Structure formats: structure tokens, C-alpha cells
A and B are shown apart, each in its own frame.
Chain A
Amino acid sequence: MYEHYSFLVVEDIAVDQYIARHVLSESLHAADISIVNNGSEGLDWINTHWPRNGKKLILLLDIQMPVMNGFAFLEAYDKLPGTSKTDTTIFVLSSTLNRDDIKRVENNQYVTKFLNKPLDEDVLKKLIE
């Protein structure tokens, strides 16, 4: 069903990585799932793996992470060449309740939607459609 999609989860908490992988593989039956620990690793992944022919990238991005957080990632992402951004949709997935953070995320041109943790398969399915 999601054979044309690649999923990249940028998340530092091991339990949340496990949950994301489980939801994507068990509920969405996605096959192409990559998981990295922070924004910096996320950039590395894009630089080496993206774009891929005929595929769309769904990026699930956490905000609070060590080394490089979600905001720093988005700033660095802005400076990437256009080809690295092709066919990419970014969802921010966070447990924050901070209004300023949420507003900042929603105002970012690359973020399609802010999602509250835990990851809800139905919401995600609807958004991808």
C-alpha cells in the first residue's frame, strides 16, 4: 500500500523509536523505514539517501533532541539544495504543549503539520492520502 513511500523517523527516545517503527510497519505496512537519533543524523541520512527515484519521503521529526534539535534541523534543511527536498513531506511529532514551540513549527514552510505524540496511525494515514 505504501510501497512508493520511504519513512524517516528523527527521534532520540528509544521507546518512541520503537513505537514509530511498530506503527509504520504493523499498521501502515510500510517497508522502507529508517530511524536516526537526532537532527544531525537526519541531515546525513538525507544527504546520502535522498532523492530516490519514484519515491516519496515522509519525515517524522521530533523537537527536543540532543546534539541537534528539530528547530536546528529545519534551519539546516532550509540550506540544503532543492534536489534534496524533492517529494518530501515533513510532520513534526512531539510531546510538547508549549504554544510558542507549536506556533513556530506551524509557521515553518517545510512542515506540513504538527502532530502530538503518541503517533496515531489513523491520523497519519489520512494525512498521507
Chain B
Amino acid sequence: MPIVFVSCALLIYINFLSLRIMSANRAYINGESHYSKGQKDAVRHLIAYLYNGYEREWQSFYEEISVPLGDNIARKALLAHQPDSIARMGLTMGRNHKDDLGDIIWLFKNFKWVPFVAKAIHEWQLADTSITQLQMVAGELHARRQQTKALDSTEQHVFFERITALGQELTVRANNFSNVLGEGSRQSKQILLYANIFFILIIIGSVSSYYVSTLNNLTRSKNEIESKNKELLHTNSELDRFVYSVSHDLRSPITSLRGLIGITHRETNLDQIKANLQLMNQSLIRQDEFISEILDYSRNKRQEIHIQPVNIERLVSEVIAMHQHIEEAKKISFNIEMPVTEIDADRARLKIILSNVVSNAIKYSDPKKTHRFITIKSFDREETHHISVEDNGIGISKEDLPLVFDMFFVTNSNKGSGLGLYIAKEVIQVLNGSIAVESEIGVGTTFTISLPQRYV
């Protein structure tokens, strides 16, 4: 864009300049015609004086010759860098219009180096030399006239020859002067035309390229907005599904509870009432777990990642202790094998991941096995930290294995909401890590969590 402003400014300046040059040119040609007329009239009066000797003619000669002489004074003053007032005085003597004086002086001062102006000034100077000579001849003639009343015809002829020769020379100079100026103004007109075309083309070019780039930017932002929109639509439909399932899963334990209250009302057997209370408790635990899961999910989306040194041995012990309230947990032996005890990680997020994996290992332990175990190991491989959670639980079938990380995927609604492993996967993605699962039905399952050793 700056190029357009510069071009516009230059265009305005050049057009202003050309107007002033044209105006000055016209003033020069006008001045030249006064100069020429003055000189011709002076020659005419001088020749008349030569033959009739009337003092009136001599006076007229002096009046007329003062026109080129005035211009001569102005030219010399300008060349000698004398004050403008002298040049103005001379030009006024040269019968130039007072409004043209400024332009004439301005062009002379600023453009005397330009070839055609220099050439015109040179012609002017030559004419001035001839004017000086004419003045000298006139002086001689006037002196002779003072001495003798009548000149003989030979002397008259000699004077006539000298005067006409100077007159002719002056006519040539005057013609040259106007021709040079005329040619110069035609050339300047041409140059100015090209300059105008050049700058207008630059302006049009810049404006069009600006237009094109703006259009491109608009297209790009439009595409970006469209892809963003697609993403948002996807997120929105995921959210819809989430809200749909959450509203059901949040309500489900409440309706169970109301059902239990209903049947307990009519129950008189105390043991049965106690059993019902136990079931109510289970429903509440289920709902409580679900709410924690939703909170974990939302925290993962909102909270900033906070990497710090984490003692994973201690973290794993905490996670196991968290799940000791589950009846099954008491029947399982936990083994911790941690050669790598401290890693850089986001502690809160790592806890969510481990908790979900360990909780699954406990819930899906195999009651048919006499020795139930869960083994948690840490190891480093290929610049990555790995934590594996291995169990000898019921295992996952081949068909279900690819689905275990899907949102709300469950094989048995009584064991969970289907959010746990989905959240674990979401959280580990935020940490630039990954989670993998291997399983054999009836044998057991191993989840492996992989985390980068360094966070940039």
C-alpha cells in the first residue's frame, strides 16, 4: 500500500511541476515577443533617425531598446545570483506581465541546467551581445549626428548596413530562442505524459495486486472458518452424545434408589431392609464414581498442563489405597516393580490415568482364580517412560478389544459407566503420550501407558 501513496504523491507533484513549467514557458515566449518587438521597433526608429536625424526618432529608439536591455539586466542578475528585485526590475522594463515574473525567475533558477533551457539562455545571451553592439552603433550614429547635421550617403550606407546586419542577427536569435523553447516544451510534455502513464500504471498495478491479495486472504480465512466450523460441528455432536448419555447415566441410579425405597417401604423383614440399604449404597457409589469421572473429564479439558518431578512409586501406592474400599480389592495381591521411580509428568493427570486402569483391573478380576494379582511396572525404552498394569483377570474378547477406549463403551453396566478408559485415553493424548492394551480372554489384560521423557 505505501507504494500507492508514494505514487499518488509523485503524480500530484509532477503534474503541479508540469503546470508551472508550462506556465513559465508561456511567459518566456511572451517575453521573447516583447523583446523581439522592442528590438525591431528600435532598429526601425534608428534607421529613421539615420536618414532624417529627428531627435524624436532617437528618443523612440531609446525607449524601445530599453525592452531588450531590461531583459539583459535580469539575465545577468540571475546568473550572478543577485537579489530577485533586480531581475524583477529588469523584466518589468522588458514589458513582461507582473504576474509572470515569479514563474520566469523560478524556471531560470531551478532549470537553467536543463539542456533546452541552457540552450535558450545561450541564445538570449548572444542576442544581448548583438543588442549591446546595436547600442554602440546607435551611440556612434548619435555622436556623428551631433557633429554634422548632414551625413553623406556613403556613411549613411555603412551605418545602414551595420544596423540591418545586427537586426537580422537578432531576428535569427529570436527565432532560435522560440524554437528551442517550443521544442523543449514539446519534449517536456512528452516526458510528463509518459511519467503520468507510468505512475498511473503503478497505482493501478498496486491497487489490483492489493485487491488480489485481499481476495486471497478472504478465501483463506473462509476456508479456515469452514474447517473450524466442521471441527465445531464434530465437537458439538460429540457433546450431544455426551450429554445424552450423561443425563441417562446420572438419572439411572436415582430411579434405582426410588425403586429400592418403594419396596423397602413395604418390607417388614429387618434383614431384607438391611440388604436393600446395602443396594442403595451401591447405587450411590455408582453415581458418585460417575460424577468424579465427569469432573476428571472436564478438568482435563480445562486445566493447564503442569509438568513436575513425580515419584511414581508413591503415586501408584496412593492409587491402590484409593481402591481398597472395593470388596474385590482385598482378594487381590498387588506387586509394584519400579526401577524407575521418578519421572517428569503432570501428577494430577497421571493419577487419573493410573486410577482408571487400576480400577478396571480390580473390577474385572477373575473370581475363579485362586491367586489373583495386579502387577505394576515402570521401565524406560526408546526415550519414553512406560508404566504397565498387568492382571490375571477375566480378559477382554477380541471383538471388544478395539472398542475399550470408546466413550461409554461397556460390557457390563454394573461395573462402570464406560467413561473411565475413554478419559484415560483423552488425558494421555493431552500429555503427548499413548495407551495400549493387550488381552486374552480368561488369561488377563495388560495396559501400557507411554509418556515422553521430556516436555519442550
Contact = CB atoms under 8 A, between A and B. Distances in A.
B412 A12 contact: yes
Contact of B266 (A26, A65, A95, A120): A26
B279 interface: yes
A112 interface: no
A32 B244 CA distance: 35
A15 interface: yes
B214 interface: no
The main secondary structure of chain A at its interface with chain B is loop
B413 A15 contact: no
Contact of B414 (A13, A97, A119): A13
A16 interface: yes
Contact of B260 (A19, A27, A65): A19
A128 to B, nearest CB: 18
Contacts of A119: 259
A114 B276 CA distance: 26
A118 B259 contact: yes
A109 interface: no
Contacts of A97: 247, 251
A9 B278 CA distance: 22
B260 A95 contact: no
Contact of A23 (B244, B263, B282, B412): B263
B251 to A, nearest CB: 5
A18 B244 CA distance: 26
Given A98-B244, A118-B255, A118-B258, A15 B412 contact: no
B248 A14 contact: no
A67 B255 contact: no
B248 A95 contact: yes
B248 A98 contact: yes
A12 B248 contact: no
B411 A15 contact: no
Interface residues of A, number: 25
B256 A13 contact: yes
Interface string B237-275: 000000011011001101110111011001000000000
B414 A14 contact: yes
B57 to A, nearest CB: 122
Contacts of A18: 279
Nearest to B263: A22
Nearest to B411: A66
Interface string B405-442: 00001111110000000000000000000000000000
A128 B254 CA distance: 26
Given A15-B256, A15-B279, A15-B283, A96 B266 contact: no
Nearest to B264: A22
A29 interface: no
Contacts of B259: 15-16, 19, 23, 117-119
A66 B244 contact: no
A64 interface: yes
A99 B69 CA distance: 110
**Candidate in A15, A19, A37 with the most chain B CB atoms within 10 angstroms:** A15
15 contacts: A13-B256, A13-B413, A15-B282, A18-B279, A22-B263, A37-B412, A64-B252, A66-B411, A66-B412, A95-B251, A97-B247, A117-B252, A117-B256, A117-B258, A119-B259
Interface of B: 244-245, 247-248, 251-252, 254-256, 258-260, 262-263, 266, 279, 282-283, 409-414
User: 7 closest pairs, A vs B, by CB?
Assistant: A118-B259, A117-B255, A19-B259, A95-B255, A12-B413, A15-B256, A66-B410
